[in-house]
Amino acid sequence: MSQNILSIAGTVAIVTGSTRGIGEAVAKRLAEAGASVVVSGRTESDGTEVVDSITSAGGTAKFIQTDMRTPDDIQALIETTVAEFGGLDILVNNAGFETDTAPDEVDIETWDAIIDTDLRAYWLAAKYAYPYLVESDYAAVVNVSSNHSLQTQPKKFPYNVVKAGIDNMTQSMAVAWGIDGIRVNSVNPGWTKVERITESLTDEELAYLDRVHPLGRIGNPEDVGNAVLYLVSELSGFVTGESLVVDGGRTSVLQDDLYLNDHGLSLDD
């Protein structure tokens, strides 16, 4: 595949929550493909480190400190980006967090915090970006969702609710803004080797997860970065309102023991 096909040179992109993990990988991938990238997050030192990594590799990046729970911060993120770079072409909504809680365990404060950060902020960022995206000849929004919008665990509430909402919001934006030339899609990662996962699971647990993925491993942040690049590139020029699952085939597995048995393996291998 020619690198030129995936080039987004000359575009301006914002990636929210890009000081680490998936967001960091997305920001770096878009910069590698030629975009001027705005890195955003709450921790300036982490954001500066990502920007330095991008610029040292020959890319263009700027950090804008943003609390996605604060509407004024979100609006300032958009307006500062436009003032700095002269426009906006790509918005990647990624900032968010989750808790290991069941529906009966969540308090109102936690509910509000997750809804505000993981859902309301996606809407507000896109809403404030809309007037500038309309002016772009290369407008694309990617909302980072999750495979939890399709299948979930008992204690991922209300993270799973939010992710299902993100996919529906993606469809709503796509049908509302397609006439303006703005494409809107979701990317839905599965198990991904970010710091939170590697620090909370043992080597044995990680090895088990690798075995029950048809492609033989869990994902890397770079896998998601590649998917986002596809969704903002000309290769996906006729794709909008879709949710792209990036999980190494995990969502297609009906039952772990049956999958392993059919391959002559067992849960204990």
Q: Strand runs (DSSP E) across the chain, as ranges?
A: 12-15, 36-41, 60-65, 90-93, 140-144, 183-189, 243-246
- Other C-beta atoms lying within 10 Å of the C-beta of residue 226: 17
User: Rounded to an integer, what distance in angstroms lies between the CA atom of residue 108 and that of residue 91?
Assistant: 30
Q: Do residues 27 and 35 make contact, with C-beta atoms less than 8 angstroms apart? A: no
CA distances from 201 to 50, 198, 206 (A): 26, 6, 6
Q: Residue 176 has which token pair?
A: 């509302």
Decide: 125 and 96 in contact? Cβ < 8 Å. Answer: no
Q: How far is CA 67 from the centre of its chain?
A: 17
Write down the catalytic residue from 122, 130, 132, 159: 159
130 catalytic residue (yes or no) = no
CA 78 to chain centre: 18
CA distance 88 to 91: 8
d(CA 110, CA 33): 37
**Of 132, 143, 149, 131, the residue nearest 174 (C-alpha):** 143
Active-site amino acid positions: 159
